[in-house]
Amino acid sequence: MLVVMAAHATPEQVAQVVQAIRAMNLSPHPMPGATRTAIGITGNINAVDPRTLEILPGVSELIRVTKPYKLASREMHEADTFVKLPRTTIGPGAFTLIAGPCSVENEAMILRTAEFLMERGVGLLRAGAFKPRSSPYSFQGMGLDGLKILEKARARTGIGIVTELMDTDNADAVEAAADVIQIGTRNMQNFSLLKRVALARKPVLLKRGMSATLEEWLMAAEYVMAGGNYQVILCERGVRTFSDHSRNTLDLSVIPPVKKLSHLPILVDPSHGTGKRDYVPPMALAALAAGADGLLLEIHPDPDHAQSDGAQSLDFAAFDRLLESLKRVSAPLGRVLN
Amino acid sequence: MLVVMAAHATPEQVAQVVQAIRAMNLSPHPMPGATRTAIGITGNINAVDPRTLEILPGVSELIRVTKPYKLASREMHEADTFVKLPRTTIGPGAFTLIAGPCSVENEAMILRTAEFLMERGVGLLRAGAFKPRSSPYSFQGMGLDGLKILEKARARTGIGIVTELMDTDNADAVEAAADVIQIGTRNMQNFSLLKRVALARKPVLLKRGMSATLEEWLMAAEYVMAGGNYQVILCERGVRTFSDHSRNTLDLSVIPPVKKLSHLPILVDPSHGTGKRDYVPPMALAALAAGADGLLLEIHPDPDHAQSDGAQSLDFAAFDRLLESLKRVSAPLGRVLN
Amino acid sequence: MLVVMAAHATPEQVAQVVQAIRAMNLSPHPMPGATRTAIGITGNINAVDPRTLEILPGVSELIRVTKPYKLASREMHEADTFVKLPRTTIGPGAFTLIAGPCSVENEAMILRTAEFLMERGVGLLRAGAFKPRSSPYSFQGMGLDGLKILEKARARTGIGIVTELMDTDNADAVEAAADVIQIGTRNMQNFSLLKRVALARKPVLLKRGMSATLEEWLMAAEYVMAGGNYQVILCERGVRTFSDHSRNTLDLSVIPPVKKLSHLPILVDPSHGTGKRDYVPPMALAALAAGADGLLLEIHPDPDHAQSDGAQSLDFAAFDRLLESLKRVSAPLGRVLN
Amino acid sequence: MLVVMAAHATPEQVAQVVQAIRAMNLSPHPMPGATRTAIGITGNINAVDPRTLEILPGVSELIRVTKPYKLASREMHEADTFVKLPRTTIGPGAFTLIAGPCSVENEAMILRTAEFLMERGVGLLRAGAFKPRSSPYSFQGMGLDGLKILEKARARTGIGIVTELMDTDNADAVEAAADVIQIGTRNMQNFSLLKRVALARKPVLLKRGMSATLEEWLMAAEYVMAGGNYQVILCERGVRTFSDHSRNTLDLSVIPPVKKLSHLPILVDPSHGTGKRDYVPPMALAALAAGADGLLLEIHPDPDHAQSDGAQSLDFAAFDRLLESLKRVSAPLGRVLN
């Protein structure tokens, strides 16, 4: 923490700030400069709310220095986190595909998709039984019946299940059905939900909030980790900006900073990121090249009749073509598709 | 809904889109133009997912025409909604103040604040017992003990209580303690929570999401209303933009469109909107002048020692000065403070 | 400037950064903390590019402390700047109206507007002879002929002229015709143009760039002031965000920080800020209440047939109604309309 | 264009809009729906300002259908544009590198960089003689002397020159020195400058504005093309969003829509896009994978002592490593580096 004094701050005002810092059991380090004094602060800053320093007379600005996340930070935990799943491991070196329809629509389509994926060596199926929809009048998912279908698909094909949890009420059911519990964009800062999945014995796929900074995202991961669940997978899915050429702005540029600041794996969801199936393959390849650890992809046996998100879903033939491209490009990048 | 065909679309492609629209039980209206054909669609569009039309050959773009909200819309309900509370009514003509500390810290400070407000004719106290904090290591609120303190303040002073609900687990307790249930910014699209407060018998104060469009915000209100609770109060509290001169960008310009498109009342929270107590009074006055129906304000008997948000809280003397200004300015605007 | 070292930085790396700072003729102030060391820097930071420190081994982050603007800063120049014009003065205490059509369309409409304004005591006319239009196929303004019409309006009515300069080629002509030279949003960082108006003997009205931070805006003002022209008037006109309920997001919340950080006057343009005439009056009143020093307003004798921006222009009757409201509200705020 | 009437609009109001459309010499197509009427418009919309329709009684919204750009549109010009330069051609199939320092600092460093690039088969050097700097106190470039150094580098090594033009005053000199004239981000909507380079006989590299939509960017290209210069190269360099993990948000997701909507080539500048040299290689690879036609890269013989942008410049060894990676990945993507 650094307190920047105004240029015209008096020595008395500087002294008052120094005293206030000491009263917080922190150590002040005044640095008189040519035009103003700055005061560095060391000590355990998390124990207090130092924003109140900002309003003392003569203070111009308060600048935070230390990042507030610990467990999610690479500084505290240098080695990469690998998330181990029944048939695959997510983390550096690999490039993991998770594919499937937006929502569970019926048993036939889920089984068909699971078999299709397993034939191609893709061991993780995504599909929502509970769907967050911006309209109360839209299809809200099959709920518990949908979870049963997913469990059946796993029992029959051996595929792993990635599915979303929307509230604590359904936490036990989703935890039982899922191999990975997905927390959606709109719930990234649903702290009650984060505290609940912190107690789960399944890994958590944490989508980035629509307008979350990297720090806020890692703090949401910190909630899960602080509660005891260290198996967190980040997932970039597009953020909200002024841009209107695609549904969201897929922020691939967050990948290198995530890798620098955190040890957690990061996936990319180019389906929600772009909102248009034609744009999915180039952005999927770009995610691989940028250093992501895998993809979350929407595919559908018959996208033109999907109950939701058909416009951004690949059909099976398009998925096969993308798979071929990913294989060709992953090799020179030293990555192994799984 | 309008389908815009590509300039080079063939007559066969136009015919195929026309047919696809009919297959959805909707009516197509082709309009051949100089460079391209557009096809208007009428009928009950909400029953289908027309985004799949977008991917038919020859289609350039799909443009939605009808707004998806109904109950929140002024077109469907022309008269202004007034939310009636024990001691006051929120809606046009009035200008309602809701004030109090960020969080319930202890009984003494809540009682002191409630008495202070009642003496000045301010009949609504805001204070959080459950606090959404971006860090798991920050003070998370007093919880149920905090609710008890709020109930005591009401019993002793008669003041109405506005307090936040963060999850369905505490819904009954918050509904019992509150006169108005607050849904926070980070939960604006927590649809499970919205469905729960739709069943509550108390009005809901719905804060705008950090990056919510006006349509998404009104759709969140629609969730509450579609479930049977028509007493919804909107609250603008700053959105996230590139701007860094204040904590958020308080979007007062949303007030006139809210008034045009919806019949619901709208309040403004200049404390969270700016994040700095010095900026609160001018933005509070601006909210009044822009046509808001009231304010949500953070005040604290001793802001410099507040457990949270002290930097943006007014002390009692500053609140008194603001109250004077608001009274002076509300008269020529034809508004009555309550 | 503050250099934050990584938690795992070695003493040698800290020493290397200290040495690099000294090599820049600056003074390092190391502050060893519990988890990491931070190094404060004092001295004349503007002479070097300290961003290169950021890439030394062991450095985690570089944090700038001092604001880069000097002449525009209130710290360096505490007294408010008042811009004196032939018939009025812009600055605190007053509330100055500048009104007129988007563009000069013909002599009759300009004269009519000038007379209308002078009758109401409004002494400044805005109208563009050179128009920045996003399409090359749109009306680009009357150019030099437009300037002649503006000069005629001034000669006949005595009204002051505010008009936009788009390039250095027309600088002499615009400087001669204008009482205030307007720099448009898209040219806020057209540094060649800023250097030219720095030499002008007329005040400069500097519109905020579409996505300019407050610092960038003040730095643009600094360009004009550093060249010798201290008569700069800022003008907020809406910034670009994700919001789509109005043409731009009018950022009234920038007014208090501008007043705190700078001594320059600030106007608000609610016409471009909202893009819709119905939204102009409430936002105009809000600008007054928020502490702006005046307004830039689009009015037109016949908005429905304007060559540009008709949808956001007030007609004369609507302007009269707004003027009445502004008068009523300015009094209790201690402001005098001019 | 589509006029959406309010649900409660009367038949007379619909008739009035129909008449207003006819008065503009356009054809109205009314479509009565269940809750409201929409009116399609066909005809030459560019000749009028239809925004005034928006304010007729009973009108709810005006929706534009046709894109305003023509020459830059793939609909009007289906074949990809290839920009032919002395030693290379920019366009699909190739992947063109343009590299060099932020600014011309002296003759030695430019010659050294040019020779280094030519040895590696990179035929285009970027370096600024005129520098747009946000502070008037920063190094503003060597100006005409810088251009002479660039011309010398071309004469001696045969390398092509890409350099920025900031104003019409220096247009002749830059046009003579450059093989490609760069228009910077801050000048993307400097329409006077665009009109000038429309007359140039050299290709124009048009950087995307800090907050430009794709449509605004293509409209800026349209300005150049409408003036007669069809050799336009687009360049994505990061846009401004709320994100703070990198200097700007590099928007790779714009590449597929650019390719769909326009025939112009598009490059990516990961140096300005990220602002940190460590992040440049992954984003450069991602740009290739996403379908960009090449890169604009900052490299410097001694980045730690660069006069500007050192923190985002690669040194020669890092550039060599990136070149190897790009070669390896371009082959499976069917692209040829040049």
Q: pLDDT digits over B311-331, tens only?
A: 899 999 999 999 999 999 999
Collapsed DSSP state (helix, strand, coil) of residue B236: strand
Query: In the prediction, which pLDDT does A46 show?
Result: 64
Query: In the prediction, which pLDDT does A75 show?
Result: 87
C-alpha B170/C-alpha B162 separation (Å) is: 15
Quickly count: other Cβ atoms within 10 Å of residue B173's Cβ: 16
Which of C168, C190, C308 to mutate: most D Cβ within 10 Å?
C190
Where does the pLDDT of residue D248 fall: very low under 50, low under 70, confident under 90, or very high at 90 and above?
very high
C-alpha D46/C-alpha C139 separation (Å) is: 10
Looking at every residue in chain A, the average pLDDT score rounds to: 93
Collapsed DSSP state (helix, strand, coil) of residue C162: strand
Partner residue opposite B186 with nearest CB, options A55, A190, A304: A190
Q: What is the phi-psi region of residue B337: left when phi exceeds 0, alpha when psi lies from -120 to 50, beta otherwise?
A: beta
Tell me what the mean pLDDT of segment D41-63 comes to.
Answer: 79
Dihedral sign from CA coordinates of D240, C308, C143, D199 = positive
Where does the pLDDT of residue D296 fall: very low under 50, low under 70, confident under 90, or very high at 90 and above?
very high
Helices (H), chain C: 11-23, 107-119, 144-157, 171-177, 191-197, 214-226, 255-261, 270-274, 280-290, 316-330
A174 at the D interface (CB within 8 A)? no
Q: What pLDDT digit, counting tens, does each position of D97-109 carry?
A: 999 999 999 999 9
Q: What pLDDT digit, counting tens, does each position of A193-236 carry?
A: 999 999 999 999 999 999 999 999 999 999 999 999 999 999 99
* Cβ–Cβ < 8 Å for C26, C41: yes
Tell me what the mean pLDDT of segment D209-221 comes to.
Answer: 97
Where does the pLDDT of residue D283 fall: very low under 50, low under 70, confident under 90, or very high at 90 and above?
very high
Beta bridge partners of B27: B42
Query: In the prediction, which pLDDT does C40 show?
Result: 86
Q: What percent of chain B has pLDDT over 90?
A: 78
Q: Answer yes or no: is the ipTM higher than 0.85.
A: yes
Helix and strand totals (H; E) in chain D:
10, 15
Q: Where are the domains of chain D?
A: 2-63, 83-337
* Cβ–Cβ < 8 Å for D245, A254: yes
Quickly count: other Cβ atoms within 10 Å of residue D125's Cβ: 27
Dihedral sign from CA coordinates of A289, A290, A295, A298 = negative
Nearest by Cα to C3 from C45, C37, C47: C37
Looking at every residue in chain B, the average pLDDT score rounds to: 93
Query: In the prediction, which pLDDT does C225 show?
Result: 96
Extract the tokens encoding C41: 């820097």
Quickly count: other Cβ atoms within 10 Å of residue D82's Cβ: 16
**Would the pLDDT of D231 be above 90?**
yes
Query: In the prediction, which pLDDT does B47 show?
Result: 60
CA distance B44 to chain D (A): 8
Q: Scanning every residue of chain C, which has its alpha carbon at the shortest distance from the alpha carbon of B271?
A: C253
β-pairing verdict for D266-268 and D83-84: unpaired
What are the phi and psi torsion angles at D41 (to 5°)? -125, 130
* Cβ–Cβ < 8 Å for B276, B238: no
The answer to whether the CB atoms of A291 and D273 lie below 8 A apart is no
The answer to whether the CB atoms of D274 and A260 lie below 8 A apart is no
Query: In the prediction, which pLDDT does B180 show?
Result: 98
Query: In the prediction, which pLDDT does B116 show?
Result: 98
Query: In the prediction, which pLDDT does C52 show?
Result: 77
Q: Which residues of chain C have pLDDT under 50?
A: none
Query: In the prediction, which pLDDT does B327 show?
Result: 97
Q: Scanning every residue of chain C, which has its alpha carbon at the shortest distance from the alpha carbon of A27?
A: C33
CA angle (A61 as vertex; A56, A62 as ends), nearest 5: 90
Tell me the CATH number for domain B2-63: 3.30.70.1140
* Cβ–Cβ < 8 Å for C289, C91: no
Distances in whole angstroms, Cα of residue D281 to Cα of each of C336, D288, D325: 58, 11, 9
Query: In the prediction, which pLDDT does B303 show?
Result: 87
* Cβ–Cβ < 8 Å for A33, B292: no
Q: What percent of chain D has pLDDT over 90?
A: 78
Subunit partners of chain A (3 or more CB pairs within 8 A): B, C, D
Strands (E), D208-320: 232-236, 266-268, 294-298
* Cβ–Cβ < 8 Å for D197, D229: yes
Q: Which residues of A touch C38 (CB under 8 A)?
A: 2, 40, 42, 65
Give residue for tokens 């230390």: A66
Query: In the prediction, which pLDDT does A47 show?
Result: 60
B256 at the C interface (CB within 8 A)? yes
**Would the pLDDT of A48 be above 70?**
no
CA distance D249 to chain A (A): 7
In this predicted model, which residue has the larger pLDDT, A55 or B131? B131
Query: In the prediction, which pLDDT does A322 show?
Result: 98
Tell me what the mean pLDDT of segment D311-325 comes to.
Answer: 96
Among A residues 287-306, those touching chain D with beta carbons less than 8 Å apart: 287-291
Dihedral sign from CA coordinates of C228, C231, C237, C238 = positive
Long-range CB pairs of C145-149 (<8 Å, 24+ gap) are: C146/C103, C146/C104, C147/C173, C147/C174, C147/C176, C147/C177, C148/C177, C149/C104, C149/C106, C149/C107, C149/C110
Where does the pLDDT of residue D61 fall: very low under 50, low under 70, confident under 90, or very high at 90 and above?
confident
In this predicted model, which residue has the larger pLDDT, D53 or B117? B117
* Cβ–Cβ < 8 Å for C232, C224: yes
Q: Scanning every residue of chain D, which has its alpha carbon at the shortest distance from the alpha carbon of C23?
A: D305
Query: In the prediction, which pLDDT does B25 show?
Result: 87
Q: Which residues of C touch A8 (CB under 8 A)?
A: 75, 78
Q: Which residues of A touch D287 (CB under 8 A)?
A: 286
Query: In the prediction, which pLDDT does D46 show?
Result: 65
**Would the pLDDT of A321 be above 70?**
yes
Distances in whole angstroms, Cα of residue C167 to Cα of each of A303, C220, C325, D193: 52, 16, 38, 8
Query: In the prediction, which pLDDT does D108 show?
Result: 97
Tell me what the mean pLDDT of segment D293-308 comes to.
Answer: 91
CATH class of D83-337: alpha beta
Is it true that B2-63 and B83-337 share their CATH fold? no
C-alpha B68/C-alpha B226 separation (Å) is: 12
Distances in whole angstroms, Cα of residue B67 to Cα of each of B31, B71, B216: 22, 11, 11
The answer to whether the CB atoms of D169 and C166 lie below 8 A apart is no
Query: In the prediction, which pLDDT does B48 show?
Result: 65
Query: In the prediction, which pLDDT does C327 show?
Result: 97
Nearest by Cα to A108 from A317, A305, A309, A338: A305
Nearest by Cα to B277 from A167, A59, A315, D44: A59
Q: Scanning every residue of chain D, which has its alpha carbon at the shortest distance from the alpha carbon of B42?
A: D33
CA distance A147 to chain D (A): 33
Dihedral sign from CA coordinates of D176, D181, D187, D192 = positive
**Would the pLDDT of B218 be above 80?**
yes
Long-range CB pairs of B183-188 (<8 Å, 24+ gap) are: B183/B207, B184/B132, B185/B209, B185/B210, B185/B237, B185/B272, B186/A189, B186/A190, B186/A191, B186/B132, B186/B210, B187/A190, B187/B132, B188/B212, B188/B216, B188/B217, B188/B220
The answer to whether the CB atoms of D133 and C191 lie below 8 A apart is yes
Partner residue opposite D54 with nearest CB, options C190, C223, C311: C311
Give residue for tokens 């998390």: A46
C-alpha C17/C-alpha C59 separation (Å) is: 8
Query: In the prediction, which pLDDT does C48 show?
Result: 64
**Would the pLDDT of B44 be above 80?**
no
Q: Scanning every residue of chain A, which has its alpha carbon at the shortest distance from the alpha carbon of D287?
A: A286
* Cβ–Cβ < 8 Å for B245, B269: no
C-alpha B215/C-alpha A134 separation (Å) is: 10
Among C residues 222-251, those touching chain A with beta carbons less than 8 Å apart: 240-242
Partner residue opposite B219 with nearest CB, options A135, A189, A303: A135
C169 at the D interface (CB within 8 A)? yes
Distances in whole angstroms, Cα of residue D304 to Cα of each of B105, B131, C157, D311: 51, 46, 61, 7
Query: In the prediction, which pLDDT does C320 show?
Result: 98
